Amino acid sequence: MAEERLPHRLVLEERKRLTMTAVSEVISFEEDGVVLKTALGTVVIQGRGLKLRTLTPDSAQMEVEGTITAIAYEEPRERRGWARRLLG
């Protein structure tokens, strides 16, 4: 049976409140940066005075407040064998 994926949504309000869905893991949370694992890859949020307001595991939703200065998605790294790296 195929795994059902929640829809990923990101809403940023006035650079002060970020709501995101399809969050599967909070990798790290600091006052100046957050790293999350989502249905579409790893998301890095940078800012100042960041606070976790809501984390709802059932709906995989989270809300962060503070001053948000950057949001970036990291591309998944391709896993390659050592022979392929040498020859490729």
CATH number attached to the domain at 10-75: 2.60.40.2000
Q: Which residues of the chain have pLDDT under 50?
A: 1-2
Give the C-alpha separation, 53 to 32, whole Å: 15
Question: How confident is the model at residue 2, as a pLDDT?
Answer: 46
What's the pLDDT at 59? Answer: 78
All residues at 6 or more sequence positions from 66 whose CB lies less than 8 Å from its CB, including other chains: 16, 31, 47, 48, 49, 50, 51
CA pair distance 19, 62, nearest whole angstrom: 6
Question: Model's pTM, two decimal places?
Answer: 0.77
